[in-house]
Structure 1
Amino acid sequence: MTLYPIETGHFKLDGGAMFGVVPKTLWQRSNPADQNNMIDIAATSLLIENGKQLILIDTGLGNKQSEKFFSHYHRWGDHSIDSSLKKYGFHRDDITDVFMTHLHFDHCGGSIQWNKDKTGYEPAFKNAKFWTNQEHWDWATNPNDREKASFLKENLIPMQESGQLNFLERSKNRHFYKNMGFEVLFVDGHTDKQMIPIIDYKGKKLVFAADLLPTAGHIPLPYVMGFDTRPLKTLDEKKLFLDEAVANDYYLFLEHDAHNEVINLQHTEKGARLNSTFKFSELFTN
């Protein structure tokens, strides 16, 4: 097995929304805001090469939305899925599986693209199976009023219509999937049945943290996104997860942190806190 970080693009989000009830005077120490109160956000996917399988975890925002849509997110930098795949000698047609932690547009928007004449949509990975779970799919396709702006039909329905949509069965909140080659932790605070991959790699446990821990600045327990549907549930899930991460020296791959690619944690009198930050290439030499 070989892993590759895939930078799909960078954007900005409102710092207050990203940190909920935490005052700006506190969160701006780790995530400084610009003059519009926006903070730097990444959308970094992870590619798993495992024998004949090429599994891509999450796909970023994509590029099919309108200029008005993207004007809210202030994209910056020149990263893309295609350039990142090319860097490692791959093409999007090589991808066999797309595993989506959840179906918010910044995690699955790159899974679907315009067709050639822009009359409709098609899968951006024509040879891949798209993986979610039934409970989350039902949640996303019948969205509550709080989340409906994050679950976009143009990202979801084309997966189903293409015949490429598949569901991972969930019998418990943590399960090893042989067809993926990694363990999955199910969490419900941010959105219903978000899936967190836990990967055994080169003698270490690497966790693709998704929106359970979006940036290193979100490590303190009360630092919960305003986007989370069940913030008290997030608190419970974060505490259990962070305690486990400290006890077992997990390495956390931060999908949304534009400046800290991988981190690990230490125990302090205030609970779990940042220990060290790493570049993926420094921590794992292929």
Structure 2
Amino acid sequence: MTSGNRHPNRTTGWHLSLVLGLLGASMIVRATAAPITTAAVPWTPPHIASELFESHGAFDPEHGDFYFVRSSPSFRGWRIMVSHCNADGWGTPVDASFAGDGVEADPFITSDGKRLYFISTRSTDGQKHKDLDIWEVDRGDEGNWGEPRRLPPPVNSRRQEWFPRPGADGWLYFGSGRPGGFGKTDIWRAREDRPGHWQVENLGKAINTPGDEYEPLPSPDGQRLIVMADGGLYQSERQENGWSERRSLGPAVNVNGSEIGAAFSPSGKSLLFSRDTKEPRSGEFYVWQPDGAEAWPPACPAKGRVASD
């Protein structure tokens, strides 16, 4: 892989003709069943929002920093950046301390702040890789990120892996173009059932279609699953026998089908994602709070907190 393109098939970029009427046909199914009309609003703090494409945000619960992916306006050349929360607000983004020599994306920090997952084509053993693999890096006792580790087969394959996200059920959810799925790219999950031995399984037809599904995001309580697929963002709910059939988040979120890189607030009540706004800027962050406003994303600097330098 040389350019870092993604969606609809991660090799042709974002500009897919969409029939927008289909996106508004379904909304989240809720027990109370009131239609959700609260629209997502832009989140564009200075230094983070730019003329480039910003996506895939992750807040660091330990240091209060913000990790995200920055790429060209056409969504190429992904790099993981970090903006430190300073006394005067979000700082100018810099490369993450663990940055490698390949394209890198999809950061996720665990709720305890001790581990970060990402994808990368970085070199290993002196060999540069073409496919994106899942990596993890742990935080040391002094608060710095250590040496990244590539997860072993069968978690990683010879195809592309995407968007690793651990769930409350102990599984690591991710997208992959490996053989054995229902479509071009499917949602899978993996679990280390004993040291060094991983179990991997496909999430099935309720989530996966003959098309493309790339990004799975379990909710903090494990009861919902957001999926980025052809057409934008969808949601599934946990049932006794597995996941319910996915449904579009509807026009409050899916405006043009380019929505990507979702992240839940710790409460699970808010959703941060990116959309290709095309003009006058490229990818921008949006926040959706269908159940009412909450104080998230975190303010910077946080009230009563000493900001980092």
TM exceeding 0.5: no
Q: The TM-score by the shorter chain falls in which range?
A: 0.3 to 0.5
Higher RCO (C-alpha 8 Å, min separation 6) = 2
> TM-score when scaled to structure 2?
0.32
So what's the TM-score if we normalise by structure 1? 0.34
- Structure with the larger helix share: 1
Structure showing the higher strand proportion among its residues? 2
